[in-house]
Structure 1
Amino acid sequence: MIGLGTYVGFDVERDSEQYRRLPEVLRVMFEAGGSVIDSSPMYGRAEAVTGELLAAEGVRSKAFVATKVWIRGRAEGIRQMQESMRLLQVERLDLMQVHNLVDWRVHLATLRDWKAAGRVRYIGITHYTNGAYAELEAVMREAQFDFVQVNYSVAEPEAERRILPLAVDRGMAVLINRPFGGGRVLRRLSDRPLPPWAAEIGATSWAQVLLKFVLSHPAVSCAIPGTGRPEHVTDNVRAGMGMIPDVAFWKRRLDSISA
């Protein structure tokens, strides 16, 4: 499944041209069958903009809304999560994640209570750098989460060694951030023609090729490329359609992407 990250793309001024494009971004994703919208208090205005648009467009019921707690201390964590829910205009959040492992034990206790009380449906843990994998793995082994969010791409495939298999073993759904390696892979490939084998998997752009690579891992539940442009969402969601190749397919073809 292809969802939507709100970093940068949804951190925009009201009444701006960027803001006016966002209803179409949501429409395209929902019509393609996507639902996951991921945000965070560290993304500036993104939570508020997301909440406003979902309410204004009457599409809240179509969205699986995820955000994060990113602060130290129990009381501050509760305050931040309450503010996120206010901005997102929800009384029950689909997924609350402890962002970048910050004070995770303290927040996990709160989130377990909130889940039991029905304030959140699912709880998760996140990181976005390879250097945090040892700590992330230790946390995943020690505590049970419903979701783990991690970076994974052609440029940053390291999660497939231990994190993704562990998520399967622990019964955790997986959200993938940075599926384009922070954008640098797309920039590097932009001037290259698509290889002939792209047509075999129904890919008509490099973005689709890279997203199909991410989706092909059996542990992955959803990729959340960030954008605020309808044309990019239109392109991205097509990666979830048609053939999703297996691991053997990529072993024979990754050299043409990585070179």
Structure 2
Amino acid sequence: MLNRRQILQLAATLPLLGTGTASATGPAGNTGPTVNTRPIPSSGELLPVIGMGTSQTFDEPASPETLQQLGAVLQAFFAAGGTVIDSSPMYGEAESRVGDILRTLSPRPPVFAATKVWTTGREEGIAQMQTSAERMAVERFDLIAIHNLQDWRTHLATLKQWKEEGKVRYIGITTSHGRNHEELLQIMRTEPLDFVQFSYNMEDRTAEQALLPLAQERDIATMINRPYQRGSLFAKTRDQELPAVAAELGCSSWGQFFLKWILGHPAVTNLIPATSKVHHMQDNMQANFGPLPDRNQRAEMMRVFSAL
């Protein structure tokens, strides 16, 4: 965590971050309420469809150079209408780096702050969640999810109580890279969850079989991790021209193509691609704008990708 002197130094290097944005700027440079949003089914609250993950990318030491770089990434995120920032104690220093930068912002842009509990035991879980709030510089998390189902019965009991008491707005549970789907499905069928998080992309479509349909049936919001399959999707499209359907959807890169294909599924609420590079963040955030694929366009996108 930064001290006051370090916070002031960082704020001086990021003058644009403190300005805030009343409206996002779309690809054509026009201002206005153009951000694509989806509702959280349990409340109707609208979220921008593109959020930000922090796994690996924000797990960095608190050096001035790193903080300036990551601050610029967050600047690009907020400038394009982003609000959802997802982290976890599992991600090393990521929560702390997010908090270091958020403390410098005045006024602070709207943030939907999400983290996870990733430990065993009731008291351990409570202590970890309190530490996460301090690290990420939030008074109350918008979302806390149980990370990879670890000791989920214990933590879910705590989170239910916290939600009733107003200590957290939404609660959920997560898994990643295809693990524990059967157990997650059973929890979704029997527990009052606001969110689930799991992997889904053009190469890993397992979630289509049961997770996405059940989330839609049970009115559970979905947060999608690994939208690029840890970058492996780009290996297939390197040096390949974008197809005609990409232009129909306003996609100027394969990254936007991959994100919009996921967003074409009606049960998807929010995606959390992670990056530590400004130009990648700017590219990701263009999927926050413009048309999303219908069923036929989505089928054409998959046909093109499968043929590569």
TM-score, normalisation: structure 1? 0.96
Whether 2:128 is the aligned partner of 1:80: answer: yes
Structure 2 stretches lacking a partner, 5+ long: 1-48
Whether 2:223 is the aligned partner of 1:178: answer: no
Structure 1 Cα separation of the partners of residues 65 and 242 of structure 2: 32
Match runs of 1:179-218 below 5 Å: 179-218=227-266
CA deviations 1:183-241 (Å, max 9, x no partner) are 10123312222123211111110000000011111111110001111111100011121
SS at match of 1:29: helix
Alignment equivalent of 1:252, drawn from 293, 300, 305: 300
**Aligned-residue offset at 1:110:** 0.4
The worse-fitting range, judged by mean Cα deviation, of 77-86 and 246-255 is 246-255
CA deviations 1:86-121 (Å, max 9, x no partner) are 111222111000000111111011001111111111
Identify the structure with the greater helix proportion.
Answer: 1
Contact in 1 for aligned 2:245/2:297 (Cα 8 Å): no
Task: Give 1 or 2 for the bigger CA radius of gyration.
Answer: 2
Contact in 2 for aligned 1:155/1:258 (Cα 8 Å): no
**Aligned-residue offset at 1:157:** 1.2
Alignment equivalent of 1:91, drawn from 124, 139, 146: 139
SS at match of 1:149: strand
Match runs of 1:1-259 below 5 Å: 1-15=49-63, 17-58=65-106, 60-259=108-307
Structure 2 Cα separation of the partners of residues 59 and 170 of structure 1: 37
The worse-fitting range, judged by mean Cα deviation, of 128-137 and 169-178 is 128-137
Structure 1 Cα separation of the partners of residues 59 and 130 of structure 2: 20
**Aligned-residue offset at 1:247:** 2.3
TM-score, normalisation: structure 2? 0.81
Contact in 2 for aligned 1:98/1:125 (Cα 8 Å): yes
Figure out how many residues of one structure are paired with residues of the other and give that number: 259
Amino acid at match of 2:122: R
**Aligned-residue offset at 1:177:** 0.3
Percent of matched pairs sharing the same residue: 46
Amino acid at match of 2:113: V
Segments ≥4 residues shifted beyond 6 Å: none
* Pairwise CA RMSD: 1.4
SS at match of 1:67: strand
SS at match of 1:183: coil
CA gap of 1:116–1:126, structure 2 versus 1, over 3 A, is same
**Aligned-residue offset at 1:60:** 4.1
The worse-fitting range, judged by mean Cα deviation, of 46-55 and 27-36 is 27-36
